[in-house]
DNA sequence: GTATTTATGTGATGCGCATCACATAACTCC
DNA sequence: GGAGTTATGTGATGCGCATCACATAAATAC
């Protein structure tokens, strides 16, 4: 299907990157969004949202990868998750105190839709099925992230690195060929370790034939072994 | 206001422990709940819900304290939060895969309301304002818990114990006199450390005059100092 | 009230990994 | 293409705290 290059002329109705929840909106509701949304294209390594900034829009990620992070009390960054396409940025803040809890930065080139948050909330309030779908998807993401962190706490370095690789394979790329757009330091910020430890473990996994690296790309040869390490260390 | 001892005869409409969200339901909707709910009184240290069990009801905690926990891959318990009155147990599972993600055990004597989950979901789907309120409260709890864990990861033992004491003071009891119904081992399961470390730090805080203990009760003398330790170690 | 069980405190030991320093590789900018 | 910056790899060091063992205190069961 041929798409016009300038997506801003494309009606939300015909958007190829539409979210599941949007499918539950009727024509009038979709029109409302269409009239109150902005499309944006963003380059890699660009700041999108800052922790502490007020929530004015719901941001729908149509394509690309985004890192969600926070600054810890020791002034180090802590990466919370990699946001994939067809997700919303900062959604948890929309239903809270109206300030963004985390920061977002593009890891690749992106396509975003900004939807006015008051419009979005009025849709939630007026369409119970849409609300339910939003509730369900927000809850699923929250639970998955929460589970990752509560699982991380008592793990030693090998399990943590295995976890990260499995995360990219299972959740982000759905593939064993990983094109991870993160430095070793960033992987460390995600795993809760140091960049030196990340390097040592990756070198070890390579020497054991569990993975293969080529530049930034990692190929998982033995995911069973990784899962075992994830569980038992 | 005098209450009948047998609360099962009390209409949900007149419940003194009603949730904020319930206030958004109309008479017909409240009637629906009333006809599809069970009241239960539970003794301390009683199992309420098991991880992995199917979600059949929404459980509203009218009074008492509950610990929410999970079993880690090393077969140790990990306490995720202390659930306070006027909260729902296992709500995040309701919108997910329909199986309880965590286990719940009473820490004190409880009063619970069991609400049929299908009825609850239909209320969410049909009443956008109620859905919004549920979404908001679930999101707030999720975010607070998530924040606690992502904050915990890089903290050393003194900060972790300070965090736990502040949590009980600010979130659970809203007081500086803490009647914590947990053993040292359970505090360790919450803080992510060992019971010996918990004991050593509490002894240290006592010797520094930051807290005072009397049996299981802890009184916080210097919460500013605790907050400082929480932040900087 | 006593026996048994559980909770707690304490000291000693050693492991895991962060940190530091430095060298090399890769990338970016001009 | 070269200079400068950033990313990465590696070795050495020492700190923080879990673990273990054991003794004592407190709670529970009969």
Q: What is the pLDDT of residues A185-196, one digit of tens each?
A: 999 999 999 999
Return the number of CB contacts < 8 Å for A and B.
Answer: 113
| Predicted confidence (pLDDT) at residue B5 exceeds the cutoff of 70 | no
- Residue at minimum CA to C1' distance from nucleotide C6: B183
Where residue B3 falls among pLDDT bands split at 50, 70, 90? very low
Q: Which has the closest alpha carbon to B163: B116, B100, B71, B232?
A: B232
Where residue B91 falls among pLDDT bands split at 50, 70, 90? confident
Q: What is the pLDDT of residues A112-122, one digit of tens each?
A: 999 999 999 99
| Predicted confidence (pLDDT) at residue B117 exceeds the cutoff of 60 | yes
Q: Which residue of A has its CA nearest to B140?
A: A96
Q: Which nucleotides of C are covered by protein (CB under 7 A)?
A: 6-12, 16-21, 26-27
Q: What is the pLDDT of residues A164-212, one digit of tens each?
A: 999 999 999 999 999 999 999 999 999 999 999 999 999 999 999 999 9
Say if A99 is an interface residue toward chain B (CB within 8 Å).
no
Q: Which residue of B has its CA nearest to A125?
A: B128
Which CATH number applies to A157-232: 3.40.30.10, 1.10.10.10, 1.10.10.60, 3.30.465.10?
1.10.10.10
Cα four-point dihedral sign B209, B214, B216, B220: negative
| Predicted confidence (pLDDT) at residue B209 exceeds the cutoff of 60 | yes
DSSP state at residue A98? S
| Predicted confidence (pLDDT) at residue A132 exceeds the cutoff of 70 | yes
List the B107 CA – C4 C1' distance (angstroms). Answer: 24
pLDDT value of position A2: 37
Nearest nucleic acid nucleotide to A196, CA to C1' distance: D9
Helical H segments across A115-222, by residue range: 117-126, 128-152, 157-167, 184-191, 195-207
pLDDT value of position A92: 84
Residues of chain A with Cβ-Cβ distance to B194 below 8 Å are none
Question: Contact, A93 vs A99, CB < 8 A?
Answer: yes
| Greater pLDDT, B37 or A14 | B37
Nearest nucleic acid nucleotide to A200, CA to C1' distance: D9
Every domain of chain A and the residues it spans? 17-152, 157-232
Q: Is A214 exposed, middle or buried (0-12, 13-18, 19+ CB in 10 A)?
A: exposed
Q: What is the pLDDT of residues B139-187, one digit of tens each?
A: 888 899 999 999 999 999 999 999 999 999 999 999 999 999 999 999 9
List the A154 CA – C10 C1' distance (angstroms). Answer: 25
Q: Which nucleotides of D are covered by protein (CB under 7 A)?
A: 6-12, 16-21, 26-27
Report the alpha-carbon distance of residue A151 to residue B72 in Å, rounded.
7
List the A103 CA – D10 C1' distance (angstroms). Answer: 33
Q: Chain B: give the shortest CA distance to residue A1, in Å.
A: 34
Where residue A137 falls among pLDDT bands split at 50, 70, 90? confident
pLDDT value of position B8: 54
What Rg value do the Cα atoms of chain B yield, rounded? 19
Q: Which residue of B has its CA nearest to A193?
A: B154
Where residue A1 falls among pLDDT bands split at 50, 70, 90? very low
pLDDT value of position B1: 31
Nearest nucleic acid nucleotide to B203, CA to C1' distance: C9
CATH architecture for the domain at B17-152: Sandwich (2.60)
**Residues of chain B above pLDDT 70, percent:** 96
Residues of chain B with Cβ-Cβ distance to A81 below 8 Å are none
Query: What integer is the mean pLDDT of A129-155?
Result: 90
**Which residues are within 8 A (CB) of B173 and not within 5 positions of it... i.e. 6 or more apart?**
B179
List the A105 CA – C30 C1' distance (angstroms). Answer: 28
pLDDT value of position A178: 95
């Amino acid at each position: 299907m041929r798409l016009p290059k300038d997506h801003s002329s494309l009606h939300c109705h015909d958007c190829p990157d539409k979210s599941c929840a949007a499918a539950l909106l009727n024509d009038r509701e979709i029109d409302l969004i269409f009239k109150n949304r902005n499309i944006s294209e963003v380059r890699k390594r660009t700041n999108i949202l800052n922790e502490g900034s007020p929530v004015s829009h719901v941001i729908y990620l149509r394509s690309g990868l985004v890192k969600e992070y926070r600054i810890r009390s020791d002034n180090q960054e802590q990466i919370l998750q990699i946001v994939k396409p067809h997700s919303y940025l900062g959604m948890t803040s929309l239903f809270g105190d109206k300030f963004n809890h985390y920061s977002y930065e593009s890891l690749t080139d992106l396509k975003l839709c900004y939807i006015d948050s008051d419009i979005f909330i009025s849709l939630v309030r007026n369409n119970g099925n849409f609300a339910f779908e939003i509730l369900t998807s927000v809850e699923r993401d929250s639970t998955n992230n929460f589970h990752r962190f509560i699982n991380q706490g008592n793990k030693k370095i090998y399990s943590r690195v295995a976890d990260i690789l499995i995360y990219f394979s299972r959740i982000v790329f759905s593939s064993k060929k990983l094109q991870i757009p993160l430095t070793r330091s960033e992987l460390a910020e995600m795993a809760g370790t140091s960049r030196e430890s990340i390097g040592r473990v990756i070198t070890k996994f390579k020497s054991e034939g569990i993975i293969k690296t080529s530049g930034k790309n990692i190929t998982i040869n033995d995911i069973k072994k990784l899962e075992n390490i994830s569980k038992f260390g």
